Amino acid sequence: MPDQTDKQTFSDDEALEFHRVPTPGKISMAPTKPMATQRDLSLAYSPGVAVPVLAIAEDVDRAYDYTAKGNMVAVISNGTAILGLGNLGHMASKPVMEGKSVLFKRFADVDSFDVEVKTTDPDEFVTVVKNIGDTWGGINLEDIKSPECFEIETQLQDLLDIPVFHDDQHGTAIISTAGLINACHIAGKRLDEVKVVLVGAGAAGLSSIGLMKAAGVKAENTVILDRDGVVYKGRPNVDQWKAAHATDTPHRTLEEAMVGADVVLGLAAKGAITKEMVASMAPNPIIFAMANPDPEITPEDVMSVRSDAIIATGRSDYPNQVNNVLGFPYIFRGALDVRARQVNHEMKVACAQALAALAREDVPDEVAAAYRGRKLKFGPDYIIPSPFDPRLIWYIPPFVAQAAMDTGVARKPIADMDAYRAQLRERVDPSAALMQKISSAVRGAPNKRVVFAEGEEASVIRAAWQFKQAELGTPILIGREDLVRQNAAEAGLNFDELGIEIHNARVSHKNTQYVDFLFGKLQRRGWLRRDVQRMVNQDRNYFAAAMLAHGDADCMVTGVTRNFNMAMREVGRVLDVRGTLIGLSIVLAKGRTLFVADTTVHELPDAEELADIAVQAADTVRRLGRSPRVAFMSYSTFGNPPGDRGEKVREAIRILDRRGVDFEYEGEMPPELALDPEQRANYPFMRLSKDANVLIMPAVHSASISTKLVQALGGATVIGPLLVGLEKSVQIVSLGASVSEIITAATFAAYEEGVIEEG
């Protein structure tokens, strides 16, 4: 087995075990239709399957409508150039092809299937793929050696009416071009002026230099080198692929070409670039040393001679990794969604430019979590987005799809790009559809002033910035202005551009008014005026809640720096309860949205409180645009087995019967009865017309444990708990909440306040 890099963080045995256990390989098939009944079987196979067969026979394009073709990509290789390991045979490439399939699914929800072709003859390879190519919506070629890969891709694209994309070429080209755009931006260089040297005229190198020219680099400013030196015009024994990039240049060696160069692209081998060469480059040199596992020159060696350099490599243990996973999933996502006939230059350039633009935006907390808390910000060490940026799925494909539409290769144009972006969010984030609806409602309602109580925290500042940028309302930050602005500047944010308000509780002209108000509420509950003065001066939750009570703000978000109960207790001393105070969690799993209450407030509610919780939860769910169907959860089913907690639930049902509420409810029952219509068939008296969507838990511990358990097991997204029932809308996030969680809470706060006012 070949030696691995000394920075490897796992052993060879661990890698083998990973691929062997619990099931050999990395992929499996999952059906998209149920096979639970005889009717299901009849529809899926004989005789029902004959209907789509005949429809496709009449019009082959209907395969996109009735089969998985439209979301299916083949990952095909003959194993002649596996990673950096060489020609090891078609079956040795299978782990890599399976890995590619996993990445397609994980990052862009594209289904894929690996195909290993047992031939090294390009014509035979083309014949095989041509004859089976119509099976898929696109083909990703992988690990095929140069120059055969060029001819194979060209022939297959001519022969097939679907995208054919050789990722070793174009994936590297797209990511490196995105990096070059941003590196030039940071270094103060123009694409049409930089002098670029390519070391390694293989598939990835030639494709990269080609795409960079398409993006703006001038052909006369490029020099490419292979094993025999500079590829200059008139050099003998040069194949057509290299000859297309040959230039009139006096340079014959890499040492000569590097003198005064702005950019060097390394796609060759370890040690191909020396310190002396780097030292001879122009000011602020851009060095992409992308050979794997060992770059042409290490970043440490570059920095020892050029502190002004911007460096990228192909490795994940250095900044600015040129990682193809940033490209191929999203290129195919966009291409499949418009049923593109090919992936052309314009689509690749659009992808590169979109990646470059995304890297210049504020980096989400999810990315920092993936990098063990390391905070990333656009600059010399962050010119390419992280593969873990959750925005990639909805940010990149629309640019690719639009380019396909603009260049006439799309067979199914997208009419509404905003709706398409929302659809893309839903593919990897089940909460996206709900949040899209809530956000749209907030934008369409009168502007809400949202207080972010912990305004000095970096995450809160970034959340307020993004909240304002998204036009969701006017943020108000509570904190010392100098510290807020300092932390904002460190995050690269300029508040003066947006007009975000900052209030210092201690020096506010409202201070006395708020103290008088709060002392009036607490003076007969054991509080002295000086205690209240200290609370308003020093505790931002009291000050922020007082702003709401006086109409100086509309709603509030807190909780980042203290636990839920403490924050709720402080806010509750200022604001009164309107109705019943509950915590409502939203669980999104397997296409189902469930609302769970009460997850925060009532520890062991009695029957009256359970009824009140159900009314408040149903009212909130109705405001969120859903018809509530309430099920009271219990270990027992309609009295069997009997018990005290079950009796409290039964009494809650009787209370609702007497009140004559206007929503469906039933209980007591276990979850499977609430959520499975076949289970309910045994209880014909049940009043639920469909599956329940509001689950009332018998105690706070069962509510909290159940929601956290499904979240911990994976496969479910939990929003909240949302705090419902105060006279003004306040949301309390979890301790140390991420930027996205804070924004979600602020959006719900603005939405809830708007709904209350309208009501």
Alpha carbon distance 427, 269 (integer Å): 39
What is the per-residue pLDDT for 707?
87
Query: pLDDT (tens digit, 9 = 90+) per residue, 335-348?
Result: 999 999 999 999 99
Both tokens of 714, joined, read: 């994976």
Nearest to 581 by CA among 438, 729, 694: 729
Alpha carbon distance 618, 610 (integer Å): 12
**What is the value of pTM for the model shown?**
0.68
Mean pLDDT comparison of 129-143, 467-481, 521-535, highest-scoring range? 129-143
CB 628 within 8 A of CB 727: no
| Residue 588 pLDDT class (50, 70, 90 cuts) | confident
User: Annotated catalytic residue: which of 45, 371, 635, 683?
Assistant: 45
Mean pLDDT comparison of 241-245, 362-366, 487-491, 736-740, highest-scoring range? 241-245
CB atoms under 10 Å from CB of 304, counted, come to 12
What is the per-residue pLDDT for 651?
93
Q: What is the mean pLDDT of residues 95-110?
A: 89
What is the per-residue pLDDT for 373?
55
User: Annotated catalytic residue: which of 94, 100, 242, 468?
Assistant: 100
What is the per-residue pLDDT for 368?
65
Q: For strand 263-266 and strand 449-452, is the pairing parallel, antiparallel, or unpaired?
A: unpaired
CA 463, 469, 473: angle at the middle one, nearest 5? Answer: 80
* DSSP string over 566-608: HHHHHHHTTS-EEEEEEEEEEEEETTEEEEEE-SSS-SS--HH
Residue 86 per-residue DSSP state: B
The H-or-E segment that residue 310 falls in is strand 310-313
Q: What is the mean pLDDT of residues 203-210?
A: 92
Alpha carbon distance 29, 556 (integer Å): 46
- Of 33-42, 123-132, 199-208, 746-755, the poorest mean pLDDT is in 33-42
Active site residue 64: no
Q: What is the mean pLDDT of residues 735-745?
A: 88
Alpha carbon distance 227, 320 (integer Å): 27
**pLDDT above 90 (res 22):** no
Alpha carbon distance 743, 737 (integer Å): 10
What is the per-residue pLDDT for 370?
56
Query: pLDDT (tens digit, 9 = 90+) per residue, 370-391?
Result: 565 567 788 999 999 988 788 8
Tokens 């511990």: give the residue.
Answer: 701
| Residue 45 pLDDT class (50, 70, 90 cuts) | confident
- Of 65-69, 257-261, 365-369, the poorest mean pLDDT is in 365-369
CB 300 within 8 A of CB 234: no
What is the per-residue pLDDT for 715?
67
What is the per-residue pLDDT for 341?
95
What is the per-residue pLDDT for 366?
66
What is the per-residue pLDDT for 218?
95
Residues 6+ apart with CB under 8 A from 375: 363, 368
Active site residue 100: yes
The answer, yes or no, to whether the previous bond of 385 is cis (omega within 30 of 0) is no
What is the per-residue pLDDT for 119?
95
Q: For strand 716-726 and strand 577-589, is the pairing parallel, antiparallel, or unpaired?
A: antiparallel
Arithmetic mean of pLDDT over the chain? 88
Query: pLDDT (tens digit, 9 = 90+) per residue, 654-667?
Result: 999 999 999 999 98
The pair phi, psi for residue 341, each rounded to 5°, is -80, -20
Alpha carbon distance 70, 411 (integer Å): 12
Segments of 329-456 assigned E as strands: 449-452
Furthest-apart CA atoms within the chain: distance in Å? 98
**pLDDT above 60 (res 233):** yes
Query: pLDDT (tens digit, 9 = 90+) per residue, 269-284?
Result: 889 999 999 999 999 9
